[in-house]
Structure 1
């Protein structure tokens, strides 16, 4: 009887997030939206925010439990299943230079976000780190995966996701334009494949990388996607290192015993690596992979919808201009600094 009560308590919120996800997936198939790199995840949070700031407050007493489950449990499950998109063989395709470029871009961008956010713009630590994670790794998915490690509030997560949407969408149009300008003026010695690695190592979202790569050439698109997938694979060690840093900080601030009680191990990050490793063994029939990836997209979109539902516009307004300025500077670094790092590594090791 208790179980039945639990299911009935969770059902309204799960049905609501599921309905928003269905609408987001349907809209993402429209060419006019997909060409802009607007994935189902991005659309789900936008629709969730519209509903969350209009009709959802009236339905919250019935939906809150299911929405919370989607925002927490389904998110972690979605991150774990994200490993089905990756194989370790993709690393070999791009080679050591691609891995080095991705690692340098991740570390430099995240460090710059933390320093600028907290020292220059006086933002709180969580907002700075979430924006840094989104810019340096894989956009909204990285922001959502970092949230449970930091235990950040919903409005901070939404601010970070908003920066990914704005600047990642701008990159879709900017990168092909930069490629054609470089072809004309020969500023940098990029082949199409090298420009693809540059795109994959610096553009925010996977969907945005695909859209930007398509605007250059098939060779650039393939290299961009592989480089991006390697960046995505770096999400798990990033989360483990971030969790260890947070635990040490808690030990220093609250004493040894308090710190030991608060140690957070993001098990979903370890399982993410295990799923990617399992996928690399090529054991599952190939026909199973697309449905699993679709399921993963649905789970992550439901989590994004739940995030949107629990985000209030007043909180976003209170965040102000500073997060966008931070994200803008990181965007400039990704373009300019990323080009420099790509050229340097390709020159030294290419």
Structure 2
């Protein structure tokens, strides 16, 4: 039995003695999640692209650095359960937000743009992080994943593959919040400037593809697209969801790369033995494929997506609870500078990729 399957099917934590240990932590992360979801419905926050996931980690950090230390012995098991197992289950259910038909709607142009943007951004993050800023590889890759794929969800999905520390994950998520929120206000302004100066011949739909391929979070893409036009918003969301779908193959490739040192030491007969396969990524694709078949009643999808949001938000809350401000201060300004350069690359380089690919395919 694989590790992932065991994690999802092993029910020993449901035994009465185990349940008593994890329940307080689950109640705490659930309470933080409830407040985050409630706040995310306020127009003042939703218009800023601040999703329940983002708010959950912020609230979790506040509680984690004030009240949580006094209840940590009681809540630790449940918080760890939320941070690990509920996270993987949430990533799997994230596939319910996608269908393969969305790929057909945008076509080869959107797929090529997303792929080039992802690869170039992540490669740039790894190179700059190591050679310019002297960051450890985990921090650089987490920031790169958040910038190049789908923000906080990508950071959280990458964490189990890298086995990264909570503080590094939180730093990466913080960069998504800072620059993704900035993009919400910047992109509609760029659209107006481009209309005036005609730097790149973008229609509203093409600008939507540009937005979806370069802005961090799904919620931020929606907010930025709304600031342009309905056509831009629709194209932006579809392009963004294709980018999200690339998360699974990205995790598989990253897992293989991470294990390369071990595999080089094995005999040919056991070459793949030491590769840690992120099974939740494969199940993520399987759920998206199942969702594409349109078998589930449509009335089931919204509740399941709500459940997925709750699971992911609980994982983010748990991450916040276990993150110390002192560790963030120790990270310094280098991660923010790296994310800033990636943000500039997404705006400028992403525009170049969009313009070139759309010119070729047109």
TM over 0.5: yes
Residue 320 of structure 2 is aligned with which of 308, 314, 317? Answer: 308
Residue of structure 1 equivalent to 2:132: 120
2:176 matches 1:147: no
Secondary structure of the 1:256 match is: coil
If the length of structure 1 is used for normalisation, what is the TM-score? 0.98
Residue of structure 1 equivalent to 2:216: 204
2:266 matches 1:256: yes
Residue of structure 1 equivalent to 2:43: 31
Q: Which aligned runs of 4 or more in structure 1 are off by greater than 3 angstroms?
A: 257-262
| Native 8 Å contact 2:25 2:77 kept in 1 | yes
Residues in 1 aligned to 2:103 and 2:273: alpha-carbon distance in whole angstroms: 37
Residues in 1 aligned to 2:241 and 2:293: alpha-carbon distance in whole angstroms: 17
Give the superposition deviation at 1:256: 2.3
| Native 8 Å contact 1:248 1:259 kept in 2 | no
Residue of structure 2 equivalent to 1:171: 183
If the length of structure 2 is used for normalisation, what is the TM-score? 0.94
2:299 matches 1:287: yes
Residue of structure 1 equivalent to 2:345: 333
2:14 matches 1:14: no
Secondary structure of the 1:283 match is: coil
2:220 matches 1:238: no
2:69 matches 1:78: no
2:168 matches 1:156: yes
Question: 1:260-271, aligned counterparts within 5 Å?
Answer: 262-271=274-283
Give the superposition deviation at 1:251: 3.2
Where in structure 2 are there 5+ consecutive unaligned residues? 1-11
Q: Deviations over 1:281-321 (max 9, x none)?
A: 00011110000000000000000000000000000000000
Where in structure 1 are there 5+ consecutive unaligned residues? none
Residue 63 of structure 1 is aligned with which of 68, 71, 75? Answer: 75
Superposition RMSD in Å: 1.4
| Native 8 Å contact 2:40 2:50 kept in 1 | yes
Residues in 2 aligned to 1:330 and 1:248: alpha-carbon distance in whole angstroms: 26
Counting matched residue pairs gives 348
Residues in 2 aligned to 1:319 and 1:259: alpha-carbon distance in whole angstroms: 37
Secondary structure of the 2:337 match is: helix
Residue of structure 2 equivalent to 1:87: 99
Q: Deviations over 1:139-197 (max 9, x none)?
A: 00000000000000000000000000000000000000000111111111000000000
Give the superposition deviation at 1:259: 8.5
Residues in 2 aligned to 1:259 and 1:128: alpha-carbon distance in whole angstroms: 28
Q: Deviations over 1:226-269 (max 9, x none)?
A: 000000000000000000111112334xx328996642110000
Residue of structure 1 equivalent to 2:194: 182
| Native 8 Å contact 2:61 2:321 kept in 1 | yes
